[in-house]
Structure 1
Amino acid sequence: MDDNRALASVVAESLEHVDSEFRTAYTTEPADALARLRRGRVDCLVTDYEMPDVDGLALVDRDGTDTPFVVFTQRRDEQVANAAADRGGAYLRKGAGREQYRRLAALVREQLGN
């Protein structure tokens, strides 16, 4: 989940490129993300933190399921990282280059217990 459609698309495509077993979908709409989560159609949520309508942790809180998640954000904030960990999720700061997607894929795998 990211409010920036182009970035959400790049993240989804990059994850599939890094790990060919991943099948991704993305949305820029919190209501759509929540509906997908509640229907059990998401194995792991990758969400930005700072978005106009809802922050990533509020989205996780509204979800009401135990869906694993990774907060993937530009924001460098130890409180956000700790809050993600307190909820059982992971945190990764966005960077530059392909390495960030390898790290993100590894965190997704970790969240999935693989």
Structure 2
Amino acid sequence: MMKRILVVEDNDLNRKLFCDVLAANGFSVEPVADGEMAIDRARAFVPNLVIMDIQLPNVSGLDLIARLKRDANLRNTPVLAVTAYAGKGDEERIREVGAQGYLAKPVSIGPFMAAVRNLIDRDSREAAA
């Protein structure tokens, strides 16, 4: 079965790049430009992984991760946080709210796909256990 990835990214170019690369690697992708819609789209799409931009207009990616982790149907979905504003302590703060992966922008395709596969594979292993 094709793995599903929700991409929450407000930057059109980044969202298109992430979605194109993921689709080319065999994933079913659901793009979301507006963070306010992310939780509802996640509930409808039921992703195997969420890629979450941290710097979103109107709502913080950190808040969205925390909301995902409080949702009974989504709490076990792994989250890969991606941010352009990586400062001291940011990775720790992002992981504390529930993200299992973290990448700083600009993101290279190799490390991006390695992080995606690691989280998808880990999710598959945990579901089988």
1:11 paired with 2:21, answer no
Q: Which 5+ residue runs of structure 2 have no aligned equivalent?
A: 1-7, 125-129
**Kept in 1: contact 2:79–2:100 (CA 8 A):** yes
Query: Of the candidates 101, 110, 114, which is equivalent to residue 90 of structure 1?
Result: 101
Query: Across the two proteins, how many residue pairs are aligned to each other?
Result: 109
Larger radius of gyration: 2
The CA RMSD measured in Å over matched residues stands at: 1.9
Normalised by the length of structure 2, the TM-score is 0.72
Amino acid in structure 1 at the alignment position of 2:113: A
Which residue is equivalent to 1:104?
112
Q: Which 5+ residue runs of structure 1 have no aligned equivalent?
A: none
Which protein is richer in strand relative to its size? Answer: 2
Normalised by the length of structure 1, the TM-score is 0.80
Matching of residues 1-114 of structure 1 within 5 Å: 1-17=8-24, 20-39=25-44, 41-63=46-68, 64=71, 65-66=74-75, 67-86=77-96, 87-95=98-106, 100-112=108-120, 113=122
**Kept in 2: contact 1:36–1:42 (CA 8 A):** no
Please give the per-residue CA displacement for 1:61-88, whole angstroms capped at 9, x wherever unaligned.
Answer: 1222221111111112242211232324
Please give the per-residue CA displacement for 1:47-104, whole angstroms capped at 9, x wherever unaligned.
Answer: 11111111211111122222111111111224221123232421101126xxx12211
- What's the % identity of the aligned pairs? 21
